[in-house]
Structure 1
Amino acid sequence: MVLVNETSYLPFLQTALLQTLFSSPRTLHKKLHFVSYIYIMFHIATLIICFITNQVNVLHFIMAQKRFFHKSFHIIVGRFLNKVVMNINKHLLEWRELHDLKQQQVADAIGVSRSTYANYEACKRSPDIETLTKLADFYGISLDALVGHKTKQSDEASLPPLARRMLQSFDKLSKRMQERYIAHMALDVEIETVTDVPKILYDTVAEKNTKK
């Protein structure tokens, strides 16, 4: 993640703060307001860079911030985050529909009520980082993929929940049982392929007859 280095601004802020100590009461208020303004602009710029680089990092950044000391900063950040939250909640709906799951199934998987999860999709509530992590684990994807952030390269294989549960159960079997299970599956595939041959031949003949 690319972030603006806060330490590069410290000398400037320290100088501004020292100047306020030797200011007259008449100019002290203006200089304090100026220092506050610089601080606010720095964090807004950092948020924008976070959003462009990785939307998930915006949530991490906001959760780490405990010093929203300025009202205007809080308002600006709130408006900015509304767009981020709406985008994330839209992708929650898309992932659920992609796997043909009901809201109750997803809610049970992440340990919340159905109404709570429904509020996530309806943009009435915002899932925290822990909930987003559970959702990403449930779908077998990264947080970036969950919220719609496109990465240039990804080495992670995305598996549907059912396939992932089968793989987890398979890993718990002994090596001998795994080999028997693989052989059994291979036989099932072979039998299914053979039984499909007559249908394929029938469809081919039917197509030829319609063309005559």
Structure 2
Amino acid sequence: MDIAKRLKEARELKGATQTQVSKDTGINNKTLSGYERKISEPDLETLNTLANYYGVTTDYLLCRTDDPNGEEEIVTIAAHHDGEEFTEEEKKMIEDFKDMVRKMKQKKGQ
């Protein structure tokens, strides 16, 4: 699978048309079509916008995981935890922290 297929799959799972995604996100319809047809790829900001809109992680869109919600990684983190269950708020904090670390790594790589 590649990013183009993942973007199309995520859009279809949400039940949205390209026109609707364009209207809701402000991303040009032709641009969205280009992403789904492998003509171009979204930049980081656009990828984040689409991931948030579709309710999936950027790792899922980038084919780094097959888990659209990132639960796989939370389970891995939990395996190294002291056995307590994470609340939804704590899971969100873990996701936010992971995103922050990724952004910092990307900035360093520039």
TM-score, with structure 2 as normaliser: 0.56
Higher RCO structure, 1 or 2 (CA under 8 Å, sep 6+):
2
Higher helix share: 1
Q: Deviation of residue 137 (structure 1)?
A: 1.1
Q: State the structure with more CA Rg.
A: 1
Give the match for residue 74 of structure 2.
154
Gaps of 5+ in 2: 76-90, 93-110
Identify which of 52, 55, 67 aligns with 1:137: 52
Give the match for residue 92 of structure 1.
7
Give the match for residue 122 of structure 1.
37
Q: Deviation of residue 106 (structure 1)?
A: 1.2
Q: Is this contact kept in 2: 1:90–1:121, CA < 8 A?
A: yes
Q: Distance in 2 between matches of 1:88 and 1:141?
A: 13
Q: Deviation of residue 142 (structure 1)?
A: 1.8
Q: Is this contact kept in 1: 2:6–2:60, CA < 8 A?
A: no
How do residues 127-206 of structure 1 correspond to structure 2 at under 5 angstroms? Answer: 127-150=42-65, 152-154=72-74
Q: Distance in 1 between matches of 2:32 and 2:74?
A: 28
Q: What is the count of residue pairs matched by the alignment?
A: 72
Q: Deviation of residue 154 (structure 1)?
A: 2.9
Q: Distance in 1 between matches of 2:43 and 2:32?
A: 12
Residue by residue, what CA displacement relative to the aligned partner does 1:59-106 show, whole Å, maximum 9, x if unpaired? Answer: xxxxxxxxxxxxxxxxxxxxxxxxxxx811110001011111100111
Q: Percent identity?
A: 36
Q: Distance in 2 between matches of 1:136 and 1:154?
A: 18
Q: Is this contact kept in 2: 1:110–1:131, CA < 8 A?
A: no
How do residues 64-75 of structure 1 correspond to structure 2 at under 5 angstroms? Answer: none
Q: Deviation of residue 148 (structure 1)?
A: 2.7
Q: Deviation of residue 146 (structure 1)?
A: 2.5
Q: Which amino acid aligns with 1:87?
A: D
TM-score, with structure 1 as normaliser: 0.31
Q: Which amino acid aligns with 1:91?
A: R
Gaps of 5+ in 1: 1-85, 158-212
Q: Which amino acid aligns with 1:121?
A: E
